[in-house]
Structure 1
Amino acid sequence: MDRPDIPLNGLRVFEAAFRQGSFTRAAIELRVTQAAVSHQVARLEDRLGITLFLRTSSGLVPTDEGRALYPVLEHGFDAMARALDRITGHRHIEVLKVGVVSTFAVGWLLPKLPAFRQSHPEIDLRISTNNNRVDILREGLDMAIRYGAGNWTGVAAELLVNAHLTPLCAPSVAEFLAVPRNLGREVLLRSYRSDEWPRWFAETGVFCPPLTGPVFDSSLALADVASDGAGVALLPVEMFARRIAEGRLVQPFKTTVSIGSYFLTWQADRPSTPAMADFAKWLCAASAGQQVWNRGG
């Protein structure tokens, strides 16, 4: 059976619409009208005999067929760009979009980025931060660094840094914390993960007091409030080493508990690009002693 005559421009428009998550934003990128983008995608769907997007009130939602097609096209377009640059003698700049949980970005990644950019000038690294809620496909990302157990559905994960949670507070508060039991007199600041304080207290053998302190969705916010002396926060000590060194936060107890780690993640069915591989290798080396990136394209 003959394959349908597939318009290359339609494939390019679909790739942009998928990555941008919007016909309007794709039109801006491609410098055409929104109607032209919609027409090209509809024409492509008609030629393929499949639906690539569901048009909903909240925006474009890729179908399973669209999700399967996108990484193949992205990889193919990037490979063509590199080949053309080699032929014409131009240096190819590859854009790499990475979503990063804010705590890791501020506490670990951002201070190290100048070294990455110096060693990889051919990669245009674009970082966007989040509160650990990220959808790689929907947000048009190549990779994401997130906190958790590393078992996300449809996502491959590479361990970067273990996160050891321990109470951190202002020096003025730490003066009154001789033993873990003293925490019962303090405001215990909480994250949206309700099991953290109970698990830390269980590690010390001390009964966890009633938890009534305010709840935050960001470890950075927790650290700011704790630094101001308004309570004690349970935080990943590796991410706040600078604040501890500066004396803004104090670690009153040696006991830590590990509930999750920071992982580099990407769509499991997506072939890796050179930029993805180089960034992953650099991250694994910079995270000192963690797993080595060895994934083929």
Structure 2
Amino acid sequence: MQLPLNALRMFDAAARHLNLTRAAQELHVTQAAVSQHIRNLEERLGKPLFRRLPRGLALTDEGLALWPVVAQSFERIEQSLQQVAEPRPREILTVGVVGTFAIGWLIPRLGQFQQLHPYIDLRLLTHNNRVDLAGEGLDAAVRFGDGSWHGTRADMLLRAPLSPMCTPALAQRLRQPADLAGQTLLRSYRMQEWEGWFTAAGQPAPLARGAMFDSSLTLAEAAAQGAGIALLPTRLFEHMLRQGRLVRPFAQEVDTGAYWLTHLRSRPASAALQTFRHWLLAQLQDENASANPPLPGIRHQE
């Protein structure tokens, strides 16, 4: 059945306002024109779409069934017309991001990127540092490590030294690194991290018996809820330190790697990826060059 587009537009406006006068004002036509188009539509359908009330309209069952379909159709047409009218096409960029970097650095700055580059449709997929660029159809991935991944180009974004973090109450019982030996040390899947930190602190490493986590985000949350002491990248958990949910009982850090932007060498970088890469590197260069204030949450040793 072919129905006149103008009549459907009048029906949609009347259904939204449930008032012929307001529908006519929106469409810049007369009330009589709206009423006539709706009556013609009802005659072609053989069903009433509205009940006429003393102070407005009410949709019939048939009108209630038809209106969502009509409204969604007009919305999709409008969206498509806007895309066609844009001076340049939108570019889709799909990036896998390790969750710690996404929460601790990228998401607070996404608004700026989208404002600068409105034609890039950025799609973020978080992961726990295990990612398959080709298999997952990613244009690029941010991950943590030493920068050596077979077949990829890797641009270093930032180093992220690790430092112990725990609740303020637990930190009060810690005066020197040796005090950690009697505490629950939460672990990531990178087993050597605690050993490396104790070596840097000049202490023998105790046996870590705490729970093991595959994500620094869950590791940090466990520490914030008092489950033990976590070894975390300070720079990416400054928000939790400022909130007072975590503190750093010791300033000692251990450097175990960095965050990198990676993409396959076999696949040419798109214009969107090049833009995203340049923005990331410029942002981090500016931040690294500026004077860093004292990191929050450190309880200085006496």
Same fold (TM over 0.5): yes
Distance 1:251 1:289 in 2: 26
Distance 1:238 1:255 in 2: 14
Alignment of 1:85-234 (within 5 A): 90-234=87-231
Distance 2:241 2:86 in 1: 49
Scaled by the length of structure 2, the TM-score of the pair is 0.66
Which residue identity does 1:113 align to in structure 2?
Answer: L
- Aligned residue number for residue 255 of structure 2: 258
Q: Is the 8 A contact 1:101 1:131 kept in 2?
A: yes
Q: Is the 8 A contact 1:161 1:290 kept in 2?
A: no
Q: Which consecutive aligned stretches of 4+ in structure 1 deviate over 2 angstroms post-superposition?
A: 288-291
Distance 2:93 2:86 in 1: 22
Q: How many residues end up aligned between the 2 structures?
A: 204
Q: Which runs of 5+ in 1 are unaligned?
A: 1-87, 292-297
Q: Name the CA shift for 1:193/1:89 in 2 (closer, same or farther; >3 Å).
A: closer
Scaled by the length of structure 1, the TM-score of the pair is 0.67
How far 1:272 sits from its partner (Å)?
Answer: 1.4
Deviations along 1:166-218, one digit per CA (max 9) or x if unpaired, are 10101011101110000011100000000000000000110111111111001
Q: Which runs of 5+ in 2 are unaligned?
A: 1-84, 289-302
Which residue identity does 1:92 align to in structure 2?
Answer: P
How far 1:290 sits from its partner (Å)?
Answer: 8.6
Deviations along 1:77-125, one digit per CA (max 9) or x if unpaired, are xxxxxxxxxxx98411000000000011011111110100000001000
Q: Is the 8 A contact 1:160 1:290 kept in 2?
A: no
- Aligned residue number for residue 283 of structure 2: 286
Distance 1:151 1:290 in 2: 25
Distance 1:89 1:232 in 2: 52
Q: Secondary structure of the equivalent of 1:238? A: helix
Distance 1:100 1:235 in 2: 17
How far 1:229 sits from its partner (Å)?
Answer: 1.3
Q: Aligned-residue CA RMSD in angstroms?
A: 1.5
How far 1:288 sits from its partner (Å)?
Answer: 2.7
Distance 1:149 1:214 in 2: 25
Rg: which structure is higher? Answer: 2
